[in-house]
Chains A and B, each alone.
Chain A
Amino acid sequence: MSQTRFAESHEWVRLDGDVATVGISDHAQNALGDVVFVDLPEAGRAVEAGEAVAVVESVKAASDIYAPIAGTIAAVNSALVDNPALVNSAPMGEGWFFTITPRDASEIDKLMDADAYARHAEEGH
């Protein structure tokens, strides 16, 4: 399993074999507050990097989730449908959103590592 990388829009992505798992960071879930609904993409959908592919709804507002890399949606986390609070309780684990088959796995290495992301989040982005 590769190192976890982060997009500026606060998604994390982790390559495991030939699929990458995507979720949102702890910083992001904390900023959103209590998550009450997640709108997930269809498996098989081709997406571009930066494309809005999912929506997370907190009590207060709806926020887009962007594909951190280009590829094809492989699977979605159906556990979030019944228990969207997993996004708050386990954002980096059980609260993952979807997996994606990368068009070019090397795109992942261009994203921020944990230290760079921590600085990005701290700057108030």
Chain B
Amino acid sequence: MADTQSLLETPLAGLHRELGGRMVGFAGYSMPVQYPAGIMAEHQACRTGAALFDVSHMGQAELRGEGAAAALERVTPAEVQALKPGRQRYALLMNESGGIIDDFMVAHLGDRLFLVLNASRKAVDVEAIGAVLPAGVSLVPRPDRALLALQGPGAEAILAPLAEGDVAAMPFMGVLESPVAGVPALITRSGYTGEDGFEIGIPAEGAEKVARALLAAGAAPAGLGARDSLRLEAGLPLYGQDIDETTSPVEAALTFSLGKRRRMEWNFAGAERVREELDSGPKRLRVGILPDGRQPARAHTEIAINGLPVGEVTSGGFGPSLNAPVAMGYVARAHAGDGTALELVVRGRAIPARIAPTPFVPHRYKRVAGVVA
């Protein structure tokens, strides 16, 4: 059993224990990998109803001051300056050599920007962003805040009666400051499961009250295991596995996060490599992979064609909604076309597989006609 004594706890540690959560170490935190229902049931609860994840280990920070958006653009190729109040966007934090320091969310709260960072990267991110800030712009970490993810087609019906504001009217990537169960909250219509849903940021001391209200209204508690199988089926990369400081946005197939104006100005860290790869094509590409049969191929599995290595799996497991194994990984660009036949070398045996478009399970975000990000 893992030694959990040196690990940090979220404000919901007591609730996780009460719910029978099986705690594991993740990014320095003791987190529930699953509850007694199990990963499969928690995954299905999210696809068919609503699941509640504690994501309080993630970093939350405010970027304040005149010119905050322009400053952040020095280290991200996302369009931040044109982000409207009440809107959120997915962005990549870049290093000078064109690798990805982190992927994160940036929300415009009117008088400030609000960032949600990966738990394993938040210290690195704060340093990287802090290093480019001009006088008058400050990055303020908010470790005093908890974060809940309420995900699934039933999320809106659970949250709406508990929230003072009109969460039902929020579009995908919309932002709303509104009390939930009487606790002041920062709500975004987003998540990382491929389903409709909300992320709810609240003061740490109010986290348990909000979580209990959402559970009482019918959300199923879900752990990191289901979070991983859900995001894998949704084709979403996990930092540290599928993207890191060596992978570029082009290789990682995340060019949607590059702003149009940014691609004309090329004034962000790592722009040279991104531009070169957009012009000439990257050496490798992140692709979705569907193994034949039922055997999962895990991270670091070799990908081959006719016995010759062409890449490596970066995430792989079993997709409960597909009832089949799913994976993603990098392959040499010449072999990255959809439908390409591959071999995955698992325990010395080659499993036939093919490259497939992602998401494997269609996204069901609440997109509203006429609303642009």
Q: A-side interface residues toward B, CB under 8 Å? A: 33-34, 36-37, 39, 55, 57-62, 84, 124
Contacts and interface: CB of A to CB of B under 8 A. Distances in A.
B295 A59 contact: no
B228 interface: yes
Interface string B192-205: 00000000000000
A59 B317 contact: yes
Interface of B: 1, 33-34, 38-40, 43, 225, 228-229, 294-296, 298, 317-318, 320, 325, 347
Nearest to A85: B40
Given A36-B294, A37-B296, A60 B347 contact: no
Given A33-B39, A34-B39, A124-B1, A59 B318 contact: yes
Contacts of A37: 294-296, 318, 325
B161 to A, nearest CB: 33
Contact of B318 (A36, A39, A55, A124): A36
B347 A59 contact: no
Contacts of B229: 59
Nearest to A36: B318
A28 B325 CA distance: 22
A39 B34 contact: no
Contact of B33 (A34, A36, A57, A60): A60
Contacts of B295: 37, 39, 57
A60 B225 CA distance: 6
Nearest to B36: A30
B347 A36 contact: no
Nearest to B43: A59
14 contacts: A33-B38, A33-B40, A34-B39, A34-B320, A36-B296, A37-B325, A39-B295, A58-B318, A59-B43, A59-B225, A60-B39, A60-B228, A62-B296, A62-B298
A52 to B, nearest CB: 10
Contacts of A36: 294, 296, 318, 325
Given A37-B295, A59-B317, 13 more contacts: A33-B34, A33-B39, A33-B225, A37-B296, A39-B295, A57-B295, A58-B39, A59-B40, A59-B320, A60-B33, A60-B39, A60-B317, A84-B294
A47 to B, nearest CB: 16
A57 B38 contact: no
Nearest to A31: B22
A39 B39 contact: no
Contacts of B228: 60
A62 B225 CA distance: 14
B259 to A, nearest CB: 36
A28 to B, nearest CB: 14
Contact of A55 (B43, B325, B347): B347
Nearest to A64: B347
A62 B297 CA distance: 9
A84 B293 CA distance: 13
B232 to A, nearest CB: 10
Nearest to A82: B294
A9 to B, nearest CB: 15
Contacts of B40: 33-34, 59
Nearest to A62: B298
B209 to A, nearest CB: 30
Contact of B39 (A55, A59, A84): A59
A58 B318 CA distance: 8
Given A34-B38, A57-B296, A62-B298, A39 B347 contact: yes
Nearest to B349: A39
Nearest to A60: B225
Q: Top 8 nearest A-B pairs by Cβ distance?
A: A34-B40, A36-B318, A124-B1, A59-B39, A59-B318, A37-B294, A37-B295, A60-B225
Which of B34, B228, B318 counts the most chain A CB atoms within 10 A?
B318
Which of A33, A36, A61 counts the most chain B CB atoms within 10 A?
A36
B53 to A, nearest CB: 15
A59 B38 CA distance: 10
Contacts of A39: 295, 347
Contacts of B298: 61-62
A58 B229 CA distance: 11
Contacts of A55: 347
Contacts of A33: 34, 38-40, 225
